[in-house]
């Protein structure tokens, strides 16, 4: 991975690229962005055609996951739905903040309109392809 693909930024935000039996958990609302949230661990992998973000979101269901792109900003938000048996309460819980949030700034080389997302076993995999002009291509040599 090139060192220019990911750079740390303030306020739970990162640059990506150069230059994210019970009733369903509620969807994160825009007003929830002011609420405290855990920062999920994310791996960023790059190849010639794009990048893959792999985020750990244990306890987040597909219905409680919100991934949105606005301009060059990608936001991943998820509400944790702990599986507590009916008529029982947790007497001790290490997870006190029931939501995850992570924000990324996408480079102009990435195509945010073609993001593909897959959630399986608490692991979110986002595939963000590069724009056609930013992908490597082979130049055909002709014999003169």
- Residue 17 pLDDT > 80, yes or no? no
Query: Which two three-digit tokens encode residue 5?
Result: 């693909």
Tally of structural domains, the chain? 1
Q: What is the pLDDT of residue 118?
A: 97
Confirm whether pTM is higher than 0.95. Answer: no
Q: What range does the domain containing 111 cover?
A: 6-134
Gyration radius of the chain over CA positions = 18
pLDDT digits (tens, 9 = 90+) for 25-65: 444 454 456 778 999 999 999 998 999 999 999 989 999 99
Instruction: Specify if 46 maps to a domain.
Output: yes
- Residue 73 pLDDT > 50, yes or no? yes
**Alpha carbons 59 and 83: distance in angstroms, whole number:** 8
- Residue 22 pLDDT > 50, yes or no? no
- Residue 14 pLDDT > 50, yes or no? yes
Instruction: Specify if 142 maps to a domain.
Output: no
Cβ atoms of residues 109 and 129 within 8 Å: no
């Amino acid at each position: 991975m090139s060192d220019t693909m990911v750079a740390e930024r303030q306020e739970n935000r990162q640059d990506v690229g150069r230059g994210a039996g019970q009733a369903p958990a509620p969807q994160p609302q825009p007003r929830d962005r002011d609420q405290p949230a855990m920062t999920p661990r994310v791996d960023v992998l790059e190849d010639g055609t794009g990048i893959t973000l792999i985020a750990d979101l244990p306890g987040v269901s597909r219905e409680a996951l919100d991934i949105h792109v606005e301009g060059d900003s990608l936001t991943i938000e998820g509400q944790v739905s702990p599986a507590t048996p009916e008529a029982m309460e947790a007497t001790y819980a290490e997870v006190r903040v029931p939501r995850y949030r992570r924000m990324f700034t996408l480079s102009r080389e990435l195509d945010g309109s073609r993001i593909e997302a897959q959630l399986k076993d608490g692991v979110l995999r986002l595939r963000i392809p590069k724009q056609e002009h930013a992908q490597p291509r082979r130049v055909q040599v002709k014999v003169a």
